[in-house]
Amino acid sequence: MPTEIDSLVRVRRALLSVSDPRGLASLARVLRQFDVELVATEGTRRHLTAESIPSRAAEELTGIGTWFGGRLKTLHPGLLGGILAPRTPAGDRELEERHLLPIDLVAVNFYPFARRVRPESPAAEIAENIDVGGVSLVRAAAKNFESVVVASDPDDYPALEEEVAREHGSVSAATRRSLAARTFLRTERYDRLIGAALRGPGTAGGSPFPATLEWAQSDLPLRYGENPHQRAAVYVPVDPTLTALAPPSLEVLQGGGLSYTNLLDLDTALSAVAEFPEPAAAVVKHATPSGVACGATIREAIAQAVETDPVARYGCALAVNRPLEADDLEPLHGIFVDLLSAPSVTDGARAAAARRSKLKLVQVAVPDVAATGWEAKSAVGRLLLQETDRRRLRPEELRCVTTRTASDEELDTLAFAWRVVRHAKSNAIVLAQDRHTVGIGSGQPTRVKAVELAVEVAGPRAPGSVLASDAFFPFADGVEVAGRAGVRAILQPGGSLRDAEVIAAADRAGIAMYFTGWRVFRH
């Protein structure tokens, strides 16, 4: 048996059996360079043959072929014995006595259970998508990590290929142990997915929320938490019935590891740009927008968004809702952007971003605002779960309560500002002109302070702007500040005990004011 000192295991025979063929041909070619015999199950062998890679049929080691419509084909001593046998003189003798061949590498992944099974899936469909053989093979290989290499996911292949090539067909003890650990975490998650599906969604009383919620640690690393001295980790839900919580794929194309606050800022920026069907950009600092704009192009939207608050934009996160092109980065010249996100990034944009050495470039899909979403926070040692606020403002919900009414252009800008203010921290105020913000005041303990901050940020751009407030004005003072700044129209929920005083202040200032009847707090 290899020791830590003599840690390299030479791979001479590999078992390949995959549902997800990504990267398999590349791994197989690297193994073949070192005369590794490839043993493959039927479907995997077809894939290898199509890639002109020779392999040996797994049935030659088992002698059973496929039983029960495919339910039983790999659960056989011909494979499991070759994987589990200890690499000792006694183990070698027993392998020979039983006419078994040792297997040094196992590249196996599972049926895509989470992708195929839905909350409404019938029991028979759930059962058919439970992988038994694949899980057993990788668990066996992971158990025998001192002598066997296990690759249970295509993401494992690139680093493994590099090491096999570097070590002339061998794999180190550290890598074998690391891959075994990753494999057991995957099988644990897979079992939890199955258990959750069989248990079913919901609780007594018809609640839309799950009776239990299980999370598994993600492979996405975080450099640190809110502060560098705090450790942090990312978790994802393992319940396949919670598709509303399923995270989109996220790829860091450039820059160092993400931090806890990077993800919080990114979430807000993505949610903000998802509000708009046209090209949009959102600048976020400390998990609240500091500038949002729509434009005819992404470049135009970025230029408008970063102009809202030239101070707050320093070190910001910025998201757009269209593919990022090379010239879209030109409005950012001289501006320090910490993180830039787009649903896709062209080669030209990547080259332009590469010239900004401190920029983190992230590719991630924009959320679907039409889909049900849930969001989670922690408080008092407890997990809080709520529906994401997807409610849309309908024109018929607007109730004019002042003498003056807004123009069509002002109404359109009010609707834009309302979509933005729901993503700012409460108390939140947004001032907007046309389809871009000119001032945002958020996270204030009083509403009048939020108005004062938004007006201060807007400066000379405040006259002629419109204002959206995430909740009602409890006093007339906030409206009076807006009136002195030249605000022309206000959109707010209404419902204050002093609504009459607030309306009177708006009439004195010549402001058109509309009530929505519902608020958009965000804490």
* Cα 328 from Cα 340, distance rounded (Å): 11
CA distance 14 to 172: 16
Strands 466-469 and 489-492, sheet pairing: parallel
Q: Are 28 and 51 in contact (CB under 8 A)?
A: yes
Residue in 367, 401, 403 with CA at minimum distance from that of residue 493: 401
Which tokens belong to 419? 């979509």
Give catalytic status of residue 143 as yes or no.
yes
Contact call for residues 111 and 118 (beta carbons, < 8 A): no
How many residues in total does the chain contain?
Answer: 523
Structure tokens at 9: 């295991």
Cα 294 to Cα 29, 305, 390: the distances in Å are: 49, 8, 19
Active-site choice (47, 143, 333, 423): 143
Q: Is 286 a catalytic residue?
A: yes
Q: CA–CA separation, 288 vs 429, rounded Å?
A: 12
For the chain, the distance separating the N- and C-terminal CA atoms, rounded to the nearest angstrom, is 57
C-alpha to C-alpha distance for 465 and 431, rounded to whole angstroms: 6
Exactly one of 286, 377, 423, 425 is catalytic; which is it? 286
Provide the Cα torsion 326, 330, 334, 338; round to 10°: -50
Cα 222 from Cα 252, distance rounded (Å) = 12
Q: Count Cβ atoms below 10 Å from residue 4 Cβ, excluding itself.
A: 10
Show the beta-strand stretches assigned E in 303-368.
Answer: 316-320, 337-342, 360-364
Residue with tokens 């990312």: 234
Q: How many CA atoms are closer than 13 Å to the CA of 205, on its beta-carbon side?
A: 5
Do residues 309 and 322 touch, judged by C-beta distance below 8 A?
no
User: From CA 495, how far away is CA 475, in angstroms rounded?
Assistant: 11
Active-site residues, by number, are 143, 286
